[in-house]
């Protein structure tokens, strides 16, 4: 086990032990198996992303992907059997309380509505800017286009790729990170 893997393993183990309550010996054996599976998924993900193993040898990406899928499936089944899934935690927290669930759903819908309005505002602003750029480009000669900074249609496409798309995606990423991060996987 590498130092990075050991650090990851210890942190993951500590999180499981502090955030969940295990009372039976079988639970402790299951958590041991869970940690072993998660460690292998962590290790193989690193190997797959770098394309090489510990020794610098090229990995068989197809085989590694297959093994990762198999271990991930086992992990999900084990977590489900241990009651470590989001659905189980939510059900325990809500105790089947439909009113509480419905209020939470309405709150999330309102947050998403605000986000969607921000997205639409951003799209409209970017489109208006694009329309102004294209209109100016169409009405200008080569010298004026140089002053505008859009000397060719390629420059307009570059603006779309380098400015418009990243700004829009940044808005969505901010929402997922700050607003939606606590409930994005609840479905």
Residue 186 tokens read as 């609840």
SS in 3 state form for 18-77?
HHCCCCCHHHHHHHHHHHHHHHHHHHHHHHHHHCECCCCCECCHHHHHHHHHHHHHHHHH
- Residue-level pLDDT at 12: 86
Residue 166, pLDDT > 90, answer yes
What are 106-145's pLDDT values in tens digits? 888 888 888 888 888 999 999 999 999 999 999 999 999 9
d(CA 182, CA 116): 18
What are 66-81's pLDDT values in tens digits? 988 998 888 888 887 7
Q: How many helices (H) and strands (E) does the chain have?
A: 8, 0
Q: Residue 97: which pLDDT band, with cuts at 50, 70 and 90? A: low
155 CB contacts (<8 Å, ≥6 apart)?
149
Instruction: Using alpha carbons, select from 91, 88, 82, 79 the residue that is nearest to residue 22.
Output: 82
Please say whether the beta carbons of 164 and 68 come within 8 A. no
Q: Residue 186: which pLDDT band, with cuts at 50, 70 and 90? A: very low
Contacts 24+ apart (CB under 8 A), 119-123: 119/168, 119/171, 119/172, 122/167, 122/168, 122/171, 123/168
Alpha carbon 55 to its chain's center: 30
- Residue-level pLDDT at 74: 87
Residue 135 tokens read as 């209109």
Please say whether the beta carbons of 65 and 48 come within 8 A. yes
């Amino acid at each position: 086990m590498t130092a990075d893997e050991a650090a990851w393993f210890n942190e993951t183990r500590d999180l499981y032990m502090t955030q969940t309550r295990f009372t039976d010996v079988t639970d402790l054996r299951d958590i041991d198996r869970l940690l072993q599976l998660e460690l292998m998924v962590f290790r193989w993900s690193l190997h797959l992303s770098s394309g090489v193993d510990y020794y610098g040898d090229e990995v068989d990406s197809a085989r590694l992907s297959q093994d990762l899928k198999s271990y991930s499936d086992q992990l999900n089944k084990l977590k489900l059997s241990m009651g470590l899934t989001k659905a189980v935690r939510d059900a325990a927290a809500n105790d089947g309380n439909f009113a509480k669930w419905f209020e939470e759903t309405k709150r999330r819908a309102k947050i998403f509505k605000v986000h969607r309005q921000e997205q639409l505002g951003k799209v409209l602003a970017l489109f208006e800017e694009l329309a102004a750029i294209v209109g100016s480009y169409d009405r200008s000669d080569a010298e004026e286009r140089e002053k505008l900074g859009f000397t060719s249609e390629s420059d307009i496409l570059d603006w779309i790729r380098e400015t418009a798309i990243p700004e829009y995606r940044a808005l969505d990423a901010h929402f997922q990170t700050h607003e939606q991060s606590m409930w994005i996987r609840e479905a």
